[in-house]
Structure formats: structure tokens, C-alpha cells
Amino acid sequence: MKEKYSIKRRETPYVVAHRGVCGANVPCNTLAAFETAIRQGADMIELDVSKSADGELFIFHPGMERRFIRIEKRLTEMTGKEIKELRLVNMDGERTSYAIPTLRETLECLKDRVYINVDKFWTDVEGISKEIKRAGVESQVVVKTYPDEKAVDAVERYAPDYMFMAMLRKEDKLTKIVKERNINYIGAEVLFDSDNDPIISDEYVADMHAQGLLVWGNGIVYDERDVISAGHNDDISVRKDPALGWGWLVDKKVDFIQTDWTLALKQYLHARKANP
């Protein structure tokens, strides 16, 4: 029997660099941002996938064209050739020399270097799966979708061997169902707006670990109106006390922490381990 791809649990959570490490003149979701994240010690790179009108896959967060390119048109309305001519803006809105990378060149860049979380996998499960296989990075890639039946069906059909995590909010109604399907289910990304939500309880995390499954927590704040970690986030960690944010997630025994502050989180985890 073929051994399933997996990620081993460890005492210290894996650090996931949200869209790489960006800032100043380096835009997110670029090869430069991914290289910076690796230099800062990221264990995994999170990246977003968009699809052109003619079917080419690019690294870009859907719907953010106005913010990151200063255009009104969506990438889904443009050809791959047109997208390759675009240049991203920096944090001040000034045009840079950075292009929007293709999924293909990004996977080739990250091969054998770091784990890769492909977000927006539901954009094109079949097409993205083919690119992952073509690049030979199957053992590095974690794919995620919301608990949508159509998306889960597509994972089972086109990507049954890839490491799959479900994105779950407040409570878990999917793990038992997915475990019975032909899917390489390795755990869940837990989204919660209260410390008391069942999906972040000590009992839930312990039960997931007892089943050999992993739990993904978030430090990122991409929209203050959409609370996904009950305030235990990057903001409170860098502005006040990391023990209130990242430390709280560590104490909950999550296996991954996604962050926009890769280096600071790595330093905190190192210091915490050195001075328990």
C-alpha cells in the first residue's frame, strides 16, 4: 500500500508565512516575498491561486486587483499573456518591477525547500492538482477548502493523495465524514470568534491529536470585522504581549500558526522554548 503524505506533529508549532513576507517595496504573493519568508525561518508558505480567462494559474488573491495592481479588471477576465505584463504596487501604492508569478514557476521555486499551503484550491481543483504533480511537490503541499460538498467531492476525485485540511468555523461537523472518504485528511483549520467555541476547546484539540490529526491556528488579521482567532492574533502579539496571542495558541497545542510576522513569531517560539 502506498504510504500517505503527512506532516509529523512536533512540540513547537509550524510557522506559516501568510502570502510570504511582504512590506516596503516587496508585494505579497511574489517570489521575493516567498524567498524572504524562507530566510526568516518559515516552515510553510501560504499562497493564493487565481485563474486567467484562458486557464493559466497565477499566484494572486482573487478580488484584490484594485488593491495590489491598481486596476478595475479581474484576472479572471484577462489572458495569461495580459497578466504577465502587469506589475504589482508596493505598500505605498507605487508601481514596482515585481510581476505576478505563475503557479508553475512558484512551485518550481519552492520545491524541496519548504511546505506549501495552496489556498483558494477550490479555484480549480483539477488544474491545480495537475500542476502540483507536474512540479513533483506532492509531499510538500497542503490543500484546504471550506466544508463545501462540491469542493470536497473534487478533492476526492482529483487530489485524494494530497494532504487535505478543512477550514472549519466554531464547530467541526466534517472530520468524521471526511475520514470515511478516499481523502488524505490530515486535520482542520479552526476559525473561532470566542474562546468558548467548541472547535478550540482543549477537548477538541486533544481528540484531534488522538486521531492522528493536526490543528491549524491563525495569528493573521486580514479583516478586523471577520474574527478568526478570538483576538489571539498578530496584532496583540506585536503591540502588547506575544503571550496573549501566539502564546495562547501554543498553549492550546495548535500545530500550525499562520502569521504576517514570521521572524517575530520564530523569535518568540525560540525564546519560549529556551525559557519555558
User: What CATH number is associated with residue 137?
Assistant: 3.20.20.190
- Structural domain contains residue 45: yes
**Which pLDDT does position 167 carry in this prediction?**
96
List all residues 6 or more positions away from 201 whose beta carbon is below 8 Å from its beta carbon.
none
pTM beyond 0.75: the answer is yes
**Which pLDDT does position 221 carry in this prediction?**
97
- Structural domain contains residue 230: yes
pLDDT-based confidence at residue 51 (cuts at 50, 70, 90): very high
- Structural domain contains residue 8: no
Q: Tell me the CA distances in angstroms from 140 to 59, 107, 118, 195, 218, one per residue in order.
A: 17, 10, 10, 31, 20
Summarize pLDDT for 166-205 with one digit per residue, the tens: 999 999 999 999 999 999 999 999 999 999 999 999 999 9
Query: Among the listed ranges 15-19, 159-163, 170-174, 200-204, which one has the minimum average pLDDT value?
Result: 170-174
- Structural domain contains residue 105: no
* Domain extent for 34: 14-49+111-274
Summarize pLDDT for 201-235 with one digit per residue, the tens: 999 999 999 999 999 999 999 999 999 999 999 99
Report the number of distinct structural domains present in the chain: 1
pLDDT-based confidence at residue 275 (cuts at 50, 70, 90): confident
- Structural domain contains residue 38: yes
- Structural domain contains residue 197: yes
3-class secondary structure, 192: strand
Do 203 and 216 form a contact (C-beta atoms < 8 A)? no
Summarize pLDDT for 69-114 with one digit per residue, the tens: 999 999 999 999 999 999 999 999 999 999 999 999 999 999 999 9
- Structural domain contains residue 83: no
- Structural domain contains residue 56: no
